[in-house]
Structure 1
Amino acid sequence: MSLPRAKLTRNFPGCPVEATLSFLDGKWKGVILFHLMGGTLRFNELRRKLPSVTQRMLTKQLRELEESGLVSRTVFPVVPPRVDYALTPLGTTLKPVINALAAWGEENVFCLPEGRHLRDVSAASGAPAIEA
């Protein structure tokens, strides 16, 4: 294929599940979307919520999400630079998918206590609650 899969939104050569997963393809994209469901976040706020991701990888994943139309990036011309990230209307339509993934993980995957702590901190800061 000459075009990246995420660019083939109108004419994807596979099943609908494969097409949807192509938007979430990447270790951090689903987690980034989960945190943005709670509202607009600045770059460093996202970094704090994802302590295991490198700055380079977070930037790469955010750019891919922006390119696919799921995330918007707003740059404010101030010193120091301020960049906000938010879900687009298209990104918002993935909320049920991300919530379903979170609920499945809550029910079927054992998370280490520090992972649960990070999730609880995210929930306290406005990230969406996981309904069991």
Structure 2
Amino acid sequence: MSGFKSDQYGTCTFTVKQACPIELTMHIFGGKWKGIILSLLSQSPMYYNAMRREIPGISQRILTLQLRDLENDGIIEREETNDNPKKVLYYLTALGEDFVPILKSIETWGNAYLCKKNEHKRS
């Protein structure tokens, strides 16, 4: 896994010998860009450059690091083409596909939260 230490995050890890499942999940899928990357890949496999165009504000370095983390954690895989220049296609693994319903639930909750937040501001 990409740098996770079971004693690294919060009080949960002090009460158990192994990593807290919630902390572990947030470590693997958390951050500013991973949700967006996974959302794109849940729709279809994507080439690196196409993905970069779809994510405004992400640098080439950060996208590469995030993809590498997700690949190391077994969530996505990459496939290089024999084209010249080479292209790299990214897609979800079975483990990544298992996360898609959770990702959609997070999206639903986020939309509901924004609606309620906006209603509260108007009243």
| 1:29 corresponding residue in structure 2 | 34
Query: Can you give the 5+ residue segments of structure 1 that lack an aligned partner in the other structure?
Result: 7-11, 111-132
TM-score if structure 1 supplies the norm length? 0.72
> Partners of 1:45 and 1:108 in 2: how far apart?
30
Equivalent of 1:54 in 59, 65, 86: 59
SS at match of 1:85: strand
* Shift, 1:58, TM fit: 0.5
| 2:45 corresponding residue in structure 1 | 40
Larger Cα-atom Rg: 2
* Shift, 1:48, TM fit: 1.4
> Partners of 2:53 and 2:108 in 1: how far apart?
23
Bigger relative contact order, structure 1 or 2 (CA pairs below 8 A, ≥6 apart): 1
Equivalent of 2:97 in 92, 95, 107: 92
Q: Find runs of 4+ consecutive structure 1 residues off by over 4 angstroms.
A: none
CA contact (8 A) 1:73 1:84 kept: yes
| 1:17 corresponding residue in structure 2 | 22
Query: What's the RMSD between the two structures over aligned residues?
Result: 2.0
> Partners of 2:50 and 2:62 in 1: how far apart?
15
> Partners of 1:78 and 1:45 in 2: how far apart?
16
TM-score if structure 2 supplies the norm length? 0.77
Between Structure 1 and Structure 2, the one with more helix by share is: 2
**Count of residues paired in the alignment:** 104
SS at match of 1:81: coil
| 1:123 corresponding residue in structure 2 | none
CA contact (8 A) 1:26 1:61 kept: no
Identity over aligned residues, as a percent?
A: 36
